[in-house]
Chains A and B, each alone.
Chain A
C-alpha cells in the first residue's frame, strides 16, 4: 500500500506537470457475467469494480473482488465462491491491457472509439492473454468504456462437477461498463 501511495503521489505530480486530463478512474464499475446452459441461465453482477485508464500511455487496468459478485439466489452465490471460484484462496481477479490511442482521443475530441485491447486476464489464480474489442466514449470531458469477452471456465482451471454440467455454461459471457471520472 505504501508503494501504491507513492505511485498515486507520483501520478498526481505527473498529472499536474502535464496539465492534462488523461487518467481516468472509477471505483463503481459494473461487470456482469451471463451463463447460458440447457437447465438454467445464470447472471451475476458486480458494481464495485475498480478501473483506471491512461489515455497518454494507452493502458487500462481492471481490479475486482470475486466475493462482490451478487447473484439472485444466495445459494448460487455461495457455491460460486466456495466450490468454483475458491474466492477465499483467490480473492481478486484482474485485467491489465494496452491499446493504441487514436489521435482524436488523444486530443480529447468527443466521440465513440472502437479499440483493440490486448492484455492479461487473471481469474482463479490463472493468467491468460486475451484480445478483445472495447469501446471508449468521450462526451463533454466524460469518459465511459465498455467491453465484452468470453471466458472459457476450463482454461482458468475452474472445475464444474458433472452433476451441474447442464446448469453452468462452459463459456461465460462477461460484459463490463465503466463510467470514469478524471483522476486527480
Chain B
C-alpha cells in the first residue's frame, strides 16, 4: 500500500516536472492564426500615426498584434529569411510585413502587386518603414 502511494506521488511529481520544463523551456508562442488582433486599421493610417508621433505610436502598437489592410507594393524573399510583403502608405516608408513562415513560390506569385491585402502580425516598431513580424495573410 505504502509503495503504491509512493509510486503515485513519484508519477505525479514527474508529470509536474515535465509540465514545468515544457511551459518554461519548450513551449513556443501560439501561432499567429490563433491570436486576436488588438487593432484593425489601414496601412496608410498606421504609418501616419508613426509619422506624427513615433513615441506614442510605439506605446500604442509596439509588440501588439495588428490587422492591417492596404495595397501591396512589393513582395520579396530574401535568402536565409522569410519573405516579406510591403504595403503602401502616404509617407516616406512602407509597412513591411515579414511572413510567419515561408510560402511556396506559387503562393508568392499569386500575390498581386497593386492588389488589396489584409495582414495580421506583430508590430515591432519603426525604422523609416514600420515593421510587422510573424505575419499571415488574412482570408
Contact = CB atoms under 8 A, between A and B. Distances in A.
Interface in A16-51: 27-28, 30, 32, 45, 47-50
Contacts of A49: 127
Given A1-B53, A2-B52, A50-B128, A67 B78 contact: no
B52 A1 contact: yes
A8 B53 CA distance: 16
Nearest to A75: B28
A118 interface: no
B73 to A, nearest CB: 13
Nearest to B100: A74
B119 interface: no
B132 to A, nearest CB: 10
A65 B63 contact: no
A8 B93 CA distance: 12
A70 interface: yes
Contact of B128 (A27, A30, A88, A91): A27
Q: Is the interface of B mostly helix, strand, loop or mixed?
A: mixed
Contacts of A78: 28-29
B88 interface: no
Interface string B99-130: 00000000000000000000000101101110
B127 A48 contact: yes
Given A67-B124, A75-B26, A1 B54 contact: yes
Contacts of A50: 127-129
B127 A74 contact: no
A162 interface: no
B128 A68 contact: no
Chain B interface size, as a band, is 20 to 34
Nearest to A3: B54
A32 B90 CA distance: 31
A157 to B, nearest CB: 21
B93 A27 contact: yes
Nearest to A74: B28
B27 to A, nearest CB: 8
A91 B63 CA distance: 9
Contacts of A5: 51, 92
Given A8-B92, A65-B124, A48 B129 contact: yes
A67 B127 CA distance: 12
B127 A64 contact: yes
Interface of B: 26, 28-29, 50-54, 58, 62-63, 76, 78, 80-82, 84, 92-93, 96, 98, 122, 124-125, 127-129, 131, 133
20 contacts: A2-B52, A5-B51, A27-B93, A27-B129, A47-B81, A48-B98, A50-B128, A65-B124, A65-B125, A65-B127, A67-B133, A68-B131, A70-B80, A70-B82, A74-B29, A78-B29, A88-B63, A91-B62, A91-B124, A92-B125
Interface of A: 1-2, 5, 8, 27-28, 30, 32, 45, 47-50, 63-65, 67-68, 70, 74-75, 78, 87-88, 91-92
